[in-house]
Amino acid sequence: MNLEHARRQMIDQQVRAWEVLDDAVLDVLRTVPRERYVPEAYRELAFADMEIPLGHGQHMLPPKLDGRLLQALALQRDDEVLEVGTGSGFLSACLARMARQVRSL
pLDDT digits (tens, 9 = 90+) for 74-89: 999 999 999 999 999 9
Cα 29 to the chain's mean position, in Å? 6
> Does the pLDDT of residue 50 top 90, yes or no?
yes
How do the domains of the chain map onto residue ranges? 3-74
Res. 1 pLDDT band, cuts 50 70 90:
confident
Beta carbons within 8 Å of 35's beta carbon, 6+ residues apart: 3, 43, 46, 47
pLDDT of residue 59: 96
- pTM of the complete model beyond 0.85: yes
Cα gap 63→48, rounded to integer Å: 8
